[in-house]
């Protein structure tokens, strides 16, 4: 039997797809590409923006067109927040939200036998345990995601995630150690710790553990080459975490700290738990201890009530922050979130203009950050090769290109950085 997967959204979703692929492989299924003919299609959906939901529906319909006899299963955030809508799409056989994915193979085999649709979506707010699905295999790559945390209870006013992912749940340290060991055994050079609300790791566990303990647990794995953190809420970055990063060069000097807006009135309306001054203090404390660290961020433009003056405040603030990379999102009202009902919704045209303007600022900042490293030599983990050019990432997330062939992928080399090139820098291997 052949199973095909497609994933939308975040690193957590990607990790969950890999665990589900492993469950099918364990039961003798072969995994084929999503555009190929298959007996089972799994669409792991996203609901962060309306575009994510629209793409999810398109992929579901594509699966049905590829093989009308196939079992079509829909998982993930969109299935969790809108199961009726998903059930209304012709050809959908199974709906599994953001929990109980460990049952996915049994559910498929039940449909193959009974030919009746199954919907097991239930109230996510009742979820108690971290769904610990071991990774049986992972596609050949240099970097592996390791999910250690689930859920969020921050309820930022624009965000659908708490309603899709439920309360905080953390993976036990023993399971983290086991998975990290397995990933290193499988040949991965870099592990990326990921979660829905990574900084809240451990808050739900009885023992007094937090993200620093999870980090130390992975760093204790002898064969590990690199450890990287996924997205983190700025206020949860502790001095202890910075200290571990200063002590262990395997711990990548990279932070993704969503800012969302650079105006305090907008931050308050978003229910973000910090002011621009507090965020700035944190960035300065990072830069004092780790001057070369890369800091990237997310920004929402066109939030309801965002005046031109507030937008300009955000522009000025991000220009002082000099982010290495910025992801910019025009505000997308999510049904069921408070901000979708806020007055003073901004026109699509204005959102587009502000997103474009901010994109220009983002590219300028990125180039300024990259230029600082010309003439330096840095460690690069090479990942891919195309037409005699290999590329990979430094610890501080610079994309580095050099001449070379496939045998360099998955290896770490010291590279002298020579010039800006494409979305990164060109360099020469010196070791």
For ligand SF4, the closer CB: 161 or 215: 161
β-pair partners for 194: 147
Q: Which among 226, 223, 219 has a CA at the least distance from the CA of 143?
A: 226
For ligand SF4, the closer CB: 37 or 155: 155
Q: Which stretch binds ligand SF4 (CB under 6 A): 26-34, 139-147, 151-159, 411-419?
A: 151-159
Taking a C-beta distance cutoff of 8 angstroms, is the pair 362, 314 a contact? no
Taking a C-beta distance cutoff of 8 angstroms, is the pair 19, 183 a contact? no
Pair of tokens at residue 132? 């610990």
Q: List the one residue from 71, 124, 161, 237 that touches ligand SF4 (CB under 6 A).
A: 161
The verdict on 154 binding ligand SF4 (CB under 6 A) reads yes
Q: Which among 410, 419, 77, 19 has a CA at the least distance from the CA of 401?
A: 419
Cβ neighbourhood burial of 185 (10 Å; 0-12, 13-18, 19+): exposed
Q: Which stretch binds ligand SF4 (CB under 6 A): 10-18, 115-123, 149-157, 359-367?
A: 149-157
Q: How far apart are CA 369 and CA 352, in angstroms?
A: 26
Q: Which stretch binds ligand SF4 (CB under 6 A): 38-46, 147-155, 285-293, 396-404?
A: 147-155
Q: Binding pattern to ligand SF4, positions 180-219, x when CB under 6 A?
A: ----------------xx----------------------
Q: List the one residue from 74, 107, 156, 252 that touches ligand SF4 (CB under 6 A).
A: 156
Minimum CB distance to ligand SF4, residue 276 (Å) = 17
The verdict on 300 binding ligand SF4 (CB under 6 A) reads no
The verdict on 152 binding ligand SF4 (CB under 6 A) reads yes
Q: Which residues contact 408 (CB under 8 A, 6 or more apart)?
A: 382, 385, 390
In the three-class reduction of DSSP (H, G, I as helix; E, B as strand; rest coil), residue 299 is classed as strand
For ligand SF4, the closer CB: 47 or 396: 47
The verdict on 127 binding ligand SF4 (CB under 6 A) reads no
The verdict on 155 binding ligand SF4 (CB under 6 A) reads yes
Q: How far apart are CA 136 and CA 314, in angstroms?
A: 44
Binding residues for ligand SF4, rule: CB under 6 A, are 152, 154-156, 159, 161-162, 196-197, 233
């Amino acid at each position: 039997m052949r199973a095909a997967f497609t994933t939308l959204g975040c690193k957590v979703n990607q990790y969950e797809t890999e665990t589900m692929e492993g469950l099918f492989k364990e039961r003798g299924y072969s995994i084929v590409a999503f555009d190929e003919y298959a007996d089972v299609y799994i669409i792991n959906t996203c609901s962060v923006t309306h575009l994510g939901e629209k793409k999810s529906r398109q992929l579901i319909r594509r699966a049905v067109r590829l093989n009308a006899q196939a079992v079509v299963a829909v998982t993930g955030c969109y299935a969790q927040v809108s199961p009726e809508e998903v059930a209304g799409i012709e050809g959908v056989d199974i709906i599994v939200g953001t929990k109980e994915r460990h049952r996915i193979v049994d559910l498929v085999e039940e449909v193959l036998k009974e030919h009746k649709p199954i919907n097991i979506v239930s109230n996510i707010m009742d979820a108690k345990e971290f769904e610990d699905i071991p990774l049986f295999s992972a596609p050949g790559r240099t970097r592996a995601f390791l999910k250690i945390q689930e859920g969020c209870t921050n309820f930022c006013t624009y965000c659908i995630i708490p309603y899709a992912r439920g309360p905080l749940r953390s993976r036990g340290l023993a399971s983290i150690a086991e998975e990290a060991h397995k990933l290193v055994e499988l040949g991965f050079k870099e592990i990326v710790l990921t979660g829905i609300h990574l900084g809240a790791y451990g808050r739900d566990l009885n023992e007094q553990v937090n993200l620093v303990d999870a980090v130390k647990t992975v760093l204790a794995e002898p064969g590990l080459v690199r450890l990287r953190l996924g997205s983190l809420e700025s206020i949860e970055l502790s001095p202890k975490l910075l200290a571990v990063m200063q002590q262990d060069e395997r711990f990548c000097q990279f932070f993704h700290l969503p800012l969302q807006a650079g105006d305090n009135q907008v931050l308050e309306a978003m229910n973000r738990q910090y002011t621009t001054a507090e965020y700035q203090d944190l960035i300065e404390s990072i830069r004092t201890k780790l001057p070369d660290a890369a800091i990237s961020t997310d920004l929402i433009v066109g939030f309801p009530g965002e005046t031109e003056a507030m937008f300009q405040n955000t522009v000025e603030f991000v220009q002082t922050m000099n982010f290495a990379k910025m992801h910019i999102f025009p505000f997308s009202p999510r049904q069921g979130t408070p901000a979708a009902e806020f007055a003073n919704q901004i026109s699509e045209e204005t959102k587009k203009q502000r997103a474009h303007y901010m994109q220009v600022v983002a590219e300028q900042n990125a180039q300024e950050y990259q230029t600082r490293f010309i003439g330096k030599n840095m460690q690069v983990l090479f990942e891919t090769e195309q037409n005699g050019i290999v590329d990979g990432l430094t610890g501080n997330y610079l994309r580095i290109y050099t001449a070379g062939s496939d045998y360099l992928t998955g290896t770490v080399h010291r590279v002298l950085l020579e010039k800006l090139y494409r979305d990164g820098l060109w360099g020469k291997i010196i070791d």
